[in-house]
Structure 1
Amino acid sequence: MNLRQTWEDHKLMFGIYLVGFLDLLAVSLIVPIMPKHLESLGASKTMIGFHASLYGVLQLVSSPVVGKLSDVYGRRRVLLFVLLCCSCSYMLFGLTTTLWIFFLFRIPSGLLKHSLTLGRTCVADVSSEVDRPGRMGRYNAISSIGFVIGPALGGNLMATTGGFKFAVTMTAFVFLINFIVSWWLVHPDQHTNKDHTITDSDDTFSFKGSIAFMRSETWPKVSGLMLERFIISVSVLMLRSNFSLFLEHKYNAGPQIIGYIVSFSGVIAFGSAMITGFVTRMYGNESRLMFHSSLLMLASQIGLNFATHISFVFILLIPFGFASSIMRVVVAHLLLQRVSPREKGEVIGMGQSSIALARIVSPQLAGLAMEHSTELPGTIGIAFAALASGLIYKRTLHHVEQKKD
Structure 2
Amino acid sequence: MGEGGKEMSGKPAIVSQQEKRIIHIIYLIVVMDVTWMFMQFSILPYLARSLGFDTLWFGYLRTMVGVIQLLGGPVFGRFADVFGARAALSLACVASIVFYLLLAIADSPAMLFIHKLPTVLMHILPGSRMVVSDLTEPQHRADALAKLGLCFAVGMITGSTLGGTLSTHYGKTFASCFAAAGNVISLILVVKFVPKSTKAQDPQDNTDSVKSKKSVFNLGEITRLMKFPGVTRTFLVKIVSGLPEGIFQVMFSIIAMNFFKLEPEQNGYLMAYFGIVQMVIQGGVIGRLTALYSESSLLLLSIGVSSLVGLAEAFMQNVFHFCFIVIPMMFSFSMFNIITDSMLTKSVPSSDTGTMLGLCSSAQSLLHTIAPTLGGFLYENYGVPSFGLIQFAVNITVFVYLIRRGFKHQVEHKE
Q: Distance in 2 between matches of 1:312 and 1:401?
A: 43
Cα distance 1:156–1:145, how it changes in 2: closer, same or farther (>3 A)? same
Tell me which of 311, 315, 326 is aligned to 1:306.
Answer: 315
Q: Distance in 2 between matches of 1:336 and 1:190?
A: 15
1:396 and 2:415 correspond:
no
Pairs aligned (count):
399
Q: Distance in 2 between matches of 1:359 and 1:293?
A: 20
Q: Distance in 1 between matches of 2:181 and 2:35?
A: 11
Q: Distance in 2 between matches of 1:190 and 1:107?
A: 29
Q: Counterpart of 2:8?
A: none
Q: CA deviation at 1:209?
A: 2.9
| Partner SS, residue 205 of structure 1 | coil
Q: Distance in 1 between matches of 2:338 and 2:245?
A: 15
Q: Distance in 2 between matches of 1:383 and 1:85?
A: 38
Tell me which of 180, 184, 202 is aligned to 1:176.
Answer: 184
Tell me which of 205, 208, 224 is aligned to 2:219.
Answer: 208
**Once the two structures are superposed, what CA deviation does each residue of 1:165-197 show, in whole Å capped at 9, x if it has no partner?**
222212212211111122222227253455235
**Once the two structures are superposed, what CA deviation does each residue of 1:64-121 show, in whole Å capped at 9, x if it has no partner?**
111111111101111112102211221111111111121012111x201111000001
The letter for the 1-side match of 2:60 is F
Listed as ranges, the gaps of 5+ residues in structure 1 are none
Say which is worse superposed, 187-196 or 140-149, in terms of deviation: 187-196
Q: Counterpart of 1:41?
A: 51
- Which residues in structure 2 correspond to 1:3-402 (within 5 Å)? 6-108=16-118, 110-160=119-169, 163-187=171-195, 189-194=197-202, 195-197=205-207, 198-199=209-210, 201-206=212-217, 208-209=219-220, 212-213=223-224, 217-218=227-228, 220-274=229-283, 275-283=285-293, 285-375=294-384, 376-401=386-411
Q: CA deviation at 1:351?
A: 1.7
Q: CA deviation at 1:44?
A: 1.4
Q: CA deviation at 1:390?
A: 3.3
Q: Distance in 2 between matches of 1:350 and 1:331?
A: 12
Cα distance 1:404–1:348, how it changes in 2: closer, same or farther (>3 A)? farther
Listed as ranges, the gaps of 5+ residues in structure 2 are 1-10
Q: Pairwise CA RMSD of aligned residues?
A: 2.3
TM-score by length of 2: 0.89
Q: CA deviation at 1:143?
A: 2.5
Cα distance 1:225–1:14, how it changes in 2: closer, same or farther (>3 A)? same
| Partner SS, residue 203 of structure 1 | coil
| Percent sequence identity over aligned pairs | 22
